[in-house]
Amino acid sequence: MDIKESRKVRRLALTCVGVAVMAIGAGAVRASSPPLERPGDTFETLHSRYDARAADDPDALHLLVQAAMLCREYEPNWKSEPFITSSFRVFGAWQDRFCGGVNRGNDYARYKAIGKTTPWNSPVEKPLTLDEAVEVALTSDSPMRLESAAYAIENGSIRWQLGTGFLRYTNTVPNLGQLQAMAVRSIACRYSGACDAGGMDTMWMCARDRRCTPAITVFGLWATEHSRVEMAAVRSMLQQLMQERERRGADR
């Protein structure tokens, strides 16, 4: 990867992180429905489906900001760049299809401007408390609210007890907050649809890590970064969360 390509991927990754953290400000909860992003979606199909809801639905606006952002630095002539890695070739081919051959910088600016005028997207002085985050994890079907909960659980000073029994005799306990957050983000993935192969979360993560392959998913990327014990813990915690959500009627 040459310097130009490296800088582009780094800017994309940093911007995506910023969009994810913006989810802390989302307050609305979506009604149960199919995933926001569906297999084969493009910027145009997402725009057609959600543009009219952007000013009223935090999840719709977040999705459109992310879609436009992934196309904001799209360069149709990327194949002419020297020293293209196999990962960037996969990402570039995905951008060709997803962006429709069009740079979406203007759309990105427009959706960001909409976000600045919506009261539910205003800056938040403090993140969710642990109790608030746990309640969101057990009841919400909003990808942004679930991301907010995952962020609070991973970065808060008070630890959640979920999974402590499973990890009591391992050396992964210091990572418990991160693993708990991964379990909550797995639920968000169910509603966003962005973590499957070709999904938007998958593509920015693999571009960031330079690990794009045609079949890669968010969960596959996690598996390359964490031990089998850690991934087993995430699956165990996710199962517990899903059972409690079902009991509460959160997942219908």
What are the tens digits of pLDDT across the range 135-161? 999 999 999 999 999 999 999 988 899
pLDDT at res. 174: 76
pLDDT at res. 126: 67
pLDDT at res. 24: 31
Is residue 149 within 8 A of residue 133, CB to CB? The reply is yes
Residues 6+ apart with CB under 8 A from 187: 137, 146, 238, 241, 242, 245
Summarised one tens digit per residue, pLDDT across range 5-24 is 544 544 444 334 333 333 33
Which is more confident, 52 or 172? Answer: 52
Q: What is the mean pLDDT of the chain?
A: 85
Exposure string of 173-209, with b = 16+ CB inside 10 Å and e = fewer, is: bebbbbbbbbbbbbbbbbbbbbbbebbbbbbbbbbbe
Is residue 64 within 8 A of residue 37, CB to CB? The reply is no
Is residue 181 within 8 A of residue 222, CB to CB? The reply is no
